Structures are given as structure tokens and as C-alpha cells.
């Protein structure tokens, strides 16, 4: 089962995702995509780690800014992941997208980053387990002033649409309240 959890910054997405993972499985693998870039980011990461450690749910944490598909392949090949009903939680797709966009900035193109998204989407379709993916909804704001900001916003919107299309469930979290969207979506 693929579950996409989206919302604004500080909306409660990660907290909801962690609680939902505990509801769906008996253990979890938390793939954190945020690199430590400064002291403030390190504090945020430590806060997330502490919250998981204080929960009664057993988490294994993998810190990986790029290789999500490789980890899904490795984890999918482990029989104990399936047998123990281990839930994979990826937090956060937007940071993963940013990592790819800023990686070798001169060489990264819109199409190159979108290709990384498509590889991930195809891997999700083939994965035989439960994966929760946390992302941000970034299209509700103003049009960014700079070309890189507009490229990021456009890529984020396309990524979220593509993951939502293959997801079994999609939640929007606002003010800590999750609302299920996928079941309410208009069908053509």
C-alpha cells in the first residue's frame, strides 16, 4: 500500500505519518532525506529523532538524501520486512527533490530531476509492502521570483501529482488534522 501525506510546513504531517505507520504495521523503517546543513536544521533533525525514540513503536532510521529507490529495492528484498509487517516511512519527498535539484546544479535539468521522480514512482508501483511518503504542498503560494524557485515549484507539483496517482491513499494534513483526499477525488 502506498500512502502520500501532504500539507503545509509545520502542519503535523510527520507526526500523523508516524502515528499512522504504527497503526498499519508492527515496526517501521524511517528514511530521512534531510541533510544537516546548519545548526538549526540539526536541531530539527534531533527533534524528529527524539520523537521517534520516545514513541512505543520500534523504528530503524536510515538517513539518505538521494537513494530512495535503492533503499526500497534493498528493503523489499528482505523477507523479514514483509513477514513482520514493517512500514517504510519516507520523510520528506520535498527535501529529496531539493537535494536532487541542487546536486550538481549546472548539470541538473528539469527533465533530469523529473526522471528521478519517475524512477521513484515506478519503484513504488512495484513495491510489495506499505510505504508512507511525506511531502509538502508548495503550490498555494506566490509565483517564485527566481527561475530556480519556479523550477522547484513546478517539479514539486508534478512529483506530488505522480506519486498521488499511484498512491492507494492521500491525506492532506492541516493544523494537525488529517483529511483523506484520495477517496474523495473526482474520477474521470
* Nearest one of 27, 123, 132 to 83, comparing CA atoms: 27
Q: How confident is the model at residue 107 (pLDDT cuts 50, 70, 90)?
A: low
pTM over 0.75: yes
Return phi, psi of residue 141, to 5°: -95, -165
Rounded distance, CA 36 to CA 45, Å? 8
Report whether 12 belongs to an annotated binding site. Answer: yes
Q: Where are the domains of the chain?
A: 2-182
Is the pLDDT at 154 greater than 60, yes or no? yes
Residue 48 catalytic? Answer: yes
Question: Are 122 and 166 contacting, i.e. CB atoms less than 8 angstroms apart?
Answer: no
Q: Which of 48, 103, 128, 146 is catalytic?
A: 48
What confidence category does residue 97 fall into, taking pLDDT thresholds of 50, 70 and 90?
Answer: very high
Where are the alpha helices (H) located in the chain, listed in sequence order?
A: 13-24, 39-54, 68-76, 79-83, 93-102, 110-126, 147-166
61: burial class by Cβ within 10 Å (0-12, 13-18, 19+)? middle
Write down the pLDDT at residue 188.
54
Residue 149 counted as an annotated binding residue? no
Residue from 42, 167, 146 nearest 101 by CA = 146
> Poorest-confidence range of 75-79, 91-95, 181-185?
181-185
176 assigned to a ligand binding site? no
**Averaged pLDDT, 157-164:** 97
Per-residue pLDDT, 174: 95
What's the DSSP call for residue 183? Answer: G
| CATH number belonging to the domain at 2-182, selected among 3.10.20.30, 3.40.1500.10, 3.40.50.300, 3.40.50.1820 | 3.40.50.300
User: Residue 54: which pLDDT band, with cuts at 50, 70 and 90?
Assistant: confident
Distance, CA of 150 to CA of 106 (rounded, Å): 16
Q: What's the grid cell of residue 79?
A: 523477507
How would residue 63 be classed by pLDDT, with cut points 50, 70 and 90? very high
Q: Is 32 one of the annotated binding-site residues?
A: yes
Amino acid at each position: 500500500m502506498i500512502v502520500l501525506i501532504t500539507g503545509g510546513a509545520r502542519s503535523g504531517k510527520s507526526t500523523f505519518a508516524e502515528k499512522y505507520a504504527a497503526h498499519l504495521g508492527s515496526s517501521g523503517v524511517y528514511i530521512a532525506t534531510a541533510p544537516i546543513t546548519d545548526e538549526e536544521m540539526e536541531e530539527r533533525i534531533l527533534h524528529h529523532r527524539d520523537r521517534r525514540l520516545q514513541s512505543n513503536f520500534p523504528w530503524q532510521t536510515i538517513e539518505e538524501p538521494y537513494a530512495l529507490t535503492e533503499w526500497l529495492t534493498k528493503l523489499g528484498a528482505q523477507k523479514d520486512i514483509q513477514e513482520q509487517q514493517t512500514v517504510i516511512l519516507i520523510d520528506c519527498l520535498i527535501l529529496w527533490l531539493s537535494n536532487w535539484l541542487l546536486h550538481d546544479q549546472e548539470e541538473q535539468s528539469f527533465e533530469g530531476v523529473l526522471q528521478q521522480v519517475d524512477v521513484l514512482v515506478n519503484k513504488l508501483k512495484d513495491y510489495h509492502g506499505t510505504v508512507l511518503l511525506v511531502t509538502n504542498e508548495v503550490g498555494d503560494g506566490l509565483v517564485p521570483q527566481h527561475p530556480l524557485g519556479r523550477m522547484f515549484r513546478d517539479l514539486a507539483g508534478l512529483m506530488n501529482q505522480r506519486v498521488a496517482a499511484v498512491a492507494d491513499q492521500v491525506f492532506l494534513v492541516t493544523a494537525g488534522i488529517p483529511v483523506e483526499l484520495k477517496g474523495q477525488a473526482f474520477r474521470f
